Structure 1
Amino acid sequence: MAEANEVILGEGGTTVDDVVRVAYGAKVVLSDDALQAMEKSFNALRKIAEDKGPIYGLSTGVGDLAKIKFSADMAHTIQENIVRSHSAGLGEPYAEEVVRAAMFARAAVLAMGYSGVNPDVVKLMVEMLNRDIVPYVPKYGSVGASGDIAPLAHVALAMLGEGDVFYGGRQVPAIVALRSELLEPIKLDGRDGLAIINGPQFMIAIAALSVHKLEMLIAAEVVNTAMLAEIVGARTTPFDERIHNVIENDGQKAVAKSLRTLLEESELTCRKRDGRVQDAYSIRCAPQILGSLWDVAKSFRKVIDSELKSASDNPLIIADEALALSGGNFHGERIALWLDFASLLCAELTNLAERHLNRLLNPVLSSLNDFLADQPGPESGLMILQYLAADIASENKVLAHPSSVDNIPVSADQEDHASFGAAAGRKILQAVDNVTNALSAELLAIAKGYRLLGAENPCKPAKEVLEKLKRILERIEHDKLSLHIALKEAKKILPDLAKFSELL
């Protein structure tokens, strides 16, 4: 039984939630079942090598060099060569939580017992995670076809005691960190080096972290929408259960129910403002818009969960039959497509947040002070928040261009199709961060809107927002404080705000 801050590797399969927990510091426990599965696979690999001739990556070269065969006795040298030659990334390093997530996801694959890997490899990966020794992994170098071979090679390099790691808040040589924790560098044999690098686990790790954040952000936007509806006095009829019961869309029904619950005791909605009988689409159609995004996010999570339980390696070692089967489970096509799909979700979220901001700031549409300024004219109020949201929304539209439609053959055309899921992963990391910033701007404007409205009894989340941002709202009155500072404060409370949606 795992402790509260532990994740067991090798029992029941790995999930998105497991990856997120390890990424942010949970300890990893390697189960006896996993150790036995790896030992059985490792022994099977040795028997296959003795009895059945060349095995890809053990007694052959890799990529187009697979046509060159050599003695299995050279395995130690060959595996170290693979690691050093493939750790060829450049660019800024991935964030530590991304690398931790990828290491854990790769360890989970190896622990399934289909890779023929020495159990000591996974033991060291687990020790590095538990002692927070995080390899320095550049962002560029993977085409998402033979897995994330360059990024994962940088992980393997650190396990050899080479390259750099993040340890104790500093970037240090890997050997220094290992020795500080009384750990010895791994001695690679068999196909250990190839086994560490031959899978799409950086893509999967990014996907897991991204969907976790996106679910929170969608939930937060549902709450933002409810509060906006109060400020503008919107009608609640579009959220009526009878409207959504005639649609087969679970996400839409869930969002509509959340909005009904959030606004059921509201004293501010349905105020008479003009002769219109319907509100703008960005409010009235929120269940249809956000519900669709919620459905995509939940489907994305299911895909990632299934990928985390899949043996992505080549060749696969079928221990019971003493077989090494070459295939393509390392290919990242599926996850690349979903990463691209998720980028569309991010673009829609920032589009919606920008439109909501416009309804609060635009003097033509809002009954509040122009641009939510305390004294419009001498003061600009929150005018520039829409500029911020517009900039973000525009970039997210660019980031929504799919990476997975590209293809550049590599390794002398032996590897003639690539998913480019790593590029999709880099895009989604930026796009999710952009969504967070756009929703923070929207939330700050909503809080200022309530303050100008003078609402005495707003909905429950609004009360919490106004309490948590009370001091910052006072300080930004009459343009007396940089909005950058206020935005950072609004950003901090998005996760707590999301809980009010009851979607998470």
Structure 2
Amino acid sequence: MISVPKRFSFGEDWLTAGIALAIASGKTKVELTQPTRKKIASSWEIVQNIVDKGHPVYGINTGFGPLCTTKISKEETTILQTNILQSHSVGVGKAINTDIAKLMLILKVHSLAKGFSGIAETTLDRIIWHIENDAIPVVPSQGSVGASGDLAPLSHLFLPLIGLGKIEHQGKVYDTPSFFKKYNLAPLELGPKEGLALINGTQFIAAHAVKVVEKLHSCLSQADVIGAMMIEGLQGSVKPFFNELHALRPFKGSIHVAKRVKRLLKGSEIMEDHIDCERVQDPYSLRCIPQVHGASRNAWLHLKELLEVELNSVTDNPVIVDEELTISGGNFHGQPLAMALDYACLAASEIGNISDRRIYLALEGNSPGVPKLLMQDTGINSGYMILQYTTAALASENKGLCFPSSADSIPTSLGQEDHVSMGSIGGRKALQVIGNVEKILAIELLTAAQAFEFRKPMKSGIFLEEIHKEVRKKVAFADKDRVFADDIEKGIQMIKDKTILHLINQIGEKEKISLRTKHSDEFEVY
């Protein structure tokens, strides 16, 4: 894994999903260097000159949206910026997680620090203070159409700058005036364009995309391992994972997955035991793991690549290029990420879909030595039958959530904003699907471990053998029915904690064995 930097310079360094997460977790410190501060100050001065000259520039001395032809006096330009934060704070629904709101702050500072937004240094310094002190604004999850920037959520995000809104700090939610009093802070007075610069942008969509990149990567990596354990449990063939096959159709994802699974199966007594069996080929859910998991890997890689462009872009409006040129354009439009998030959502759903098929396969009792429903004494016991009901329900729910949000558009702002991306909805939905996939993978992990048990006393390779032992530390072999919901919760926690991935890293370091491939660096979050 590529290490993250100890320090990150906003507006200068290249931001990735991994670095953004490292900043949010406190592993990477942040700064505004003097050259960056100089660019920021220069852009701010240009805005002051525009106000002094009175030449109409959108959002600086005009109204917003359909009010773009309404001239605002020099004296009212600062009131305009305060009003826009208040009028656009129309979010509803449950608040987003604080880690996503914190990512929004990080991504916004990096974009504004490029020096094309007319923001004041003092405003950026205050936002950085919020990041460094984990004083995170409360942001409702609903209300953005993902086009004129994520207007509603970004407005809520920056209400605390003017002394309004709510802040979560150390597990407690404060109204901003109370928080300011406790920490001896005062509201800022926003200058011309600052309010608009703060709320125009794609940081709500992009912050969700950062979490999608992180969480989907975890699911993909664990799905390979759990799929390999299921192959062992059901005595599948290793041949579909040979490089000779995938070299003939060299998609990066397929090659990467095939090599990982083949190495996980290396040295397995279980594989050797049925090397001359009469079964010609396995069902697709086992045989096509490289192609299916690999396709989802490719979708993940596409999102990661597009996201990095977005993280290092200027996405507000208008853009202050220099003294002579300001451009009112559409860099705030969320379409580039919206479509990729819908693709990633489908990719995640398919990982859950094929996982459910492997679970069903394990229950059929068609693999020698593995009893129907993964339990010897059935009839009085239902075995693992109903666990698959849960994965079927989750997989079906995900299919319903896969309708692409970006396929929809509802005009807003009295028709001024007549095509919108709905990327904000796509980002939230993708995380919902991934949450369901985590649950499906947890159940497959338990199911694969149960099937694996029937191969004893034969042993697998070192990776899968140790992973099976780790599962058994938390969930015992089931020889009769019990409350399986308790087992599932333990499995879900293992998936969320990335228990098996950490174990693989430990084994690899100890035994000097690696699952890395020539595409490993590309398929890393960092």
TM norm. shorter chain > 0.5: yes
Q: How much is the aligned-residue C-alpha RMSD, in angstroms?
A: 2.1
Q: Does the 8 Å contact 2:450/2:477 carry over to 1?
A: no
| Structure 1 residues 493 and 463: CA distance shift in structure 2, 3 A | farther
Counterpart-to-counterpart distance in 1, 2:105 and 2:220? 28
What's the counterpart of residue 84 of structure 1?
86
Q: Secondary structure at the match of 2:476?
A: helix
Q: How far 1:176 sits from its partner (Å)?
A: 2.5
What's the counterpart of residue 507 of structure 2?
none
Q: How does 1:99-114 map to 2 (within 5 A)?
A: 99-114=101-116
What's the counterpart of residue 491 of structure 1?
492
Identity over aligned pairs, percent: 32
What's the counterpart of residue 29 of structure 1?
30
Q: 1:41 aligns with which of 40, 43, 59?
A: 43
Q: Does the 8 Å contact 1:115/1:317 carry over to 2?
A: yes
Q: How does 1:385-404 map to 2 (within 5 A)?
A: 385-404=387-406
| Structure 1 residues 181 and 7: CA distance shift in structure 2, 3 A | farther
What's the counterpart of residue 290 of structure 1?
293
Encode CA deviations 1:399-457: one digit per residue, 9 max, x unaligned. 11011111111111111111111111121110111111111111111112222332442
Q: Does the 8 Å contact 1:293/1:345 carry over to 2?
A: yes
Q: How far 1:165 sits from its partner (Å)?
A: 1.6
Q: Does the 8 Å contact 1:331/1:419 carry over to 2?
A: yes
Q: How does 1:275-314 map to 2 (within 5 A)?
A: 275-314=278-317
Q: Does the 8 Å contact 1:217/1:498 carry over to 2?
A: no
Q: How does 1:251-270 map to 2 (within 5 A)?
A: 251-269=253-271
| Structure 1 residues 463 and 274: CA distance shift in structure 2, 3 A | closer
In structure 1, stretches of 5+ residues that fail to align are none
Q: How far 1:364 sits from its partner (Å)?
A: 4.4
Q: How does 1:403-482 map to 2 (within 5 A)?
A: 403-474=405-476, 476-480=478-482, 482=483
Q: How far 1:5 sits from its partner (Å)?
A: 6.0
Encode CA deviations 1:443-491: one digit per residue, 9 max, x unaligned. 11111222233244223332332222224333755234x3222222222
What's the counterpart of residue 384 of structure 1?
386
What's the counterpart of residue 18 of structure 1?
19
What's the counterpart of residue 60 of structure 1?
62
Q: Does the 8 Å contact 1:135/1:164 carry over to 2?
A: yes
Residue 120 of structure 1 aligns with an amino acid whose one-letter code is T
Which region of structure 1 is more displaced relative to structure 2, 180-189 or 304-313?
180-189
Counterpart-to-counterpart distance in 2, 1:82 and 1:131? 26
What's the counterpart of residue 358 of structure 1?
360
Which region of structure 1 is more displaced relative to structure 2, 258-267 or 19-28?
19-28
Counterpart-to-counterpart distance in 1, 2:32 and 2:478? 54
Q: Secondary structure at the match of 1:453?
A: coil
| Structure 1 residues 477 and 160: CA distance shift in structure 2, 3 A | farther
Q: 1:323 aligns with which of 314, 322, 325?
A: 325
Counterpart-to-counterpart distance in 2, 1:113 and 1:65? 26
Q: How far 1:375 sits from its partner (Å)?
A: 2.6
Q: How far 1:368 sits from its partner (Å)?
A: 1.4
Q: Secondary structure at the match of 1:416?
A: coil
Q: How far 1:374 sits from its partner (Å)?
A: 5.2
Counterpart-to-counterpart distance in 1, 2:69 and 2:148? 17
TM-score, normalization: structure 2? 0.91
Counterpart-to-counterpart distance in 1, 2:4 and 2:294? 35
Q: Does the 8 Å contact 1:41/1:113 carry over to 2?
A: yes
What's the counterpart of residue 345 of structure 1?
347
Residue 248 of structure 1 aligns with an amino acid whose one-letter code is P
Counterpart-to-counterpart distance in 1, 2:8 and 2:368? 50
Q: Does the 8 Å contact 1:344/1:400 carry over to 2?
A: yes
Residue 335 of structure 1 aligns with an amino acid whose one-letter code is L
Residue 316 of structure 1 aligns with an amino acid whose one-letter code is V
In structure 2, stretches of 5+ residues that fail to align are 505-514
Residue 287 of structure 1 aligns with an amino acid whose one-letter code is P
Residue 285 of structure 1 aligns with an amino acid whose one-letter code is C
Q: How far 1:336 sits from its partner (Å)?
A: 0.6
Q: Does the 8 Å contact 2:230/2:452 carry over to 1?
A: no
| Structure 1 residues 343 and 165: CA distance shift in structure 2, 3 A | same
Q: Secondary structure at the match of 2:475?
A: helix
Which region of structure 1 is more displaced relative to structure 2, 405-414 or 18-27?
18-27
Q: Does the 8 Å contact 1:6/1:29 carry over to 2?
A: yes
Residue 329 of structure 1 aligns with an amino acid whose one-letter code is N
Counterpart-to-counterpart distance in 2, 1:374 and 1:74? 79
Q: Secondary structure at the match of 1:412?
A: helix
Encode CA deviations 1:88-113: one digit per residue, 9 max, x unaligned. 01000001111111111111110111
Counterpart-to-counterpart distance in 2, 1:17 and 1:488? 28
Counterpart-to-counterpart distance in 2, 1:59 and 1:280? 66
Q: How far 1:50 sits from its partner (Å)?
A: 2.3
Q: Does the 8 Å contact 1:447/1:462 carry over to 2?
A: no
Encode CA deviations 1:270-323: one digit per residue, 9 max, x unaligned. 64496431111111111111111111111210100010111101100113x442
What's the counterpart of residue 170 of structure 1?
172
Q: Secondary structure at the match of 1:159?
A: helix
What's the counterpart of residue 248 of structure 1?
250
TM-score, normalization: structure 1? 0.94
Which region of structure 1 is more displaced relative to structure 2, 162-171 or 193-202?
162-171
Q: Secondary structure at the match of 1:493?
A: helix
Q: How far 1:115 sits from its partner (Å)?
A: 0.3
Q: How far 1:355 sits from its partner (Å)?
A: 0.6
What's the counterpart of residue 511 of structure 2?
none
Counterpart-to-counterpart distance in 2, 1:24 and 1:489? 25
Q: Does the 8 Å contact 1:282/1:355 carry over to 2?
A: yes
Which region of structure 1 is more displaced relative to structure 2, 42-51 or 436-445?
42-51
